[in-house]
Amino acid sequence: MTRIDAKFADLKAKGKKAFVSYVMAGDPDFDKSLEIVRGLPGAGVDIIELGLPFTDPMADGPTIQLAGQRTLDGGMTLKRTLELVTEFRKGDDTTPIVLMGYYNPIYSMGVPTFLTAAKEAGIDGLIIVDLPPEEDTELCLPAQEAGLNFIRLATPTTDDKRLKRVAQNTSGFVYYVSITGITGTAEADASDVSPAVARIREATGLPVIVGFGVNTPEKSRTIAAVADGVVVGSAIVSQIADGKSTAEVLAFVKALADGAHSA
């Protein structure tokens, strides 16, 4: 059982929904990023999604693209991202961390080298946006053999036939992208999300976490009410981009987490 599996089992036992926060590793710099990440569990975050900076982030909107560019300009790399996780784990051995990004940096490091380093650092799962199920032998299957969850995305355009393929080697949870398009560009609607979540649960047997288009405590609550939890990314990254203090960022995160946990 991974930390992700244990977290969902604990939340289910408590009758609570999950709140997942996304931040870009190294944003706005390594030290402040580490400070923010260390504060996320205390702000009510159940699972941390840590963005891996990449030069061509096809699924990300302007907010997250700019965050990635800031960190790349500051010298952030895959190796430094894993170093950040290693530092976090010195004080927290229970909060799950999912690395979210694109395959190129992992391919460049080499899959066996990456998986060894990720496990040693304390990564629990991977969301690799540009690796479809047809490429499972590249990273998905080796990652699962190494003890990491490999988490898939489902979208409003994922039909039943495709969903079966998506579910085949997925573990941990399914990330439901509630809107078509890129991050941070539209709002999720609970009436649209609810039937999609039910369909994905039935097909996979896994928790379904909804992301894209969740940006307020009220929206966090309404979407969590029809899913197993919510992810907030762009709204948090915007706070960091605006130069808010760590305390201000974490207060914003806590309001979002409280919304999800009240569902």
pLDDT band at 140 (very low <50, low <70, confident <90, very high): very high
Identity at 253, one-letter amino acid code:
V
pLDDT, the chain, mean: 94
Rounded Cα–Cα distance for residues 98 and 45 (Å): 13
pLDDT at 189: 75
Write the pLDDT tens digit of every residue in 198-244.
999 999 999 999 998 899 999 999 999 999 999 999 999 999 999 99
DSSP assignments along the chain, one per residue: --HHHHHHHHHHHHT--EEEEEEETTSS-HHHHHHHHHHTGGGT-SEEEEE---S--TT--HHHHHHHHHHHHTT--HHHHHHHHHHHHTT-SSS-EEEEE-HHHHHHH-HHHHHHHHHHHT--EEEETT--GGGTTTTHHHHHHTT-EE-EEE-TT--HHHHHHHHTT--S-EEEE-SSSSTTSS---HHHHHHHHHHHHHHH-S-EEEESS--SHHHHHHHHTTSSEEEE-HHHHHHHHTT--HHHHHHHHHHHHHHHHT-
CA atoms within 13 A on the CB side of 83: 9
Rounded Cα–Cα distance for residues 142 and 196 (Å): 29
| Average pLDDT for 109-113 | 98
Exposure letters 34-67 (e unless 16+ CB within 10 A, then b): bebbbbbbebbbbbbbbbbbbeebebbbebbbbb
**In the chain, where the domains are located:** 3-261
pLDDT at 187: 64
Rounded Cα–Cα distance for residues 58 and 182 (Å): 8
Write the pLDDT tens digit of every residue in 115-135.
999 999 999 999 999 999 999
Does the pLDDT at position 251 exceed 70? Answer: yes
**Candidate from 36-45, 82-91, 213-222 with smallest mean pLDDT:** 213-222
- Residues 222, 262 contacting (CB under 8 angstroms): no
Does the pLDDT at position 8 exceed 80? Answer: yes
Does the pLDDT at position 45 exceed 50? Answer: yes
pLDDT at 212: 86
Question: What topology is assigned to 3-261 in CATH?
Answer: TIM Barrel (3.20.20)
Q: Read off the tokens for 61.
A: 């909107």
Instruction: Look at the block and give the residue holding tokens 């982030």.
Output: 57
Residue 21 has a CB neighbour count (10 Å cut-off) of: 28
| Average pLDDT for 27-39 | 97
Write the pLDDT tens digit of every residue in 159-199.
999 999 999 999 999 999 987 655 544 566 788 899 999 99
Active site residues: 49, 60
pLDDT at 184: 47
Proportion of the chain above pLDDT 70, given as a percent: 97
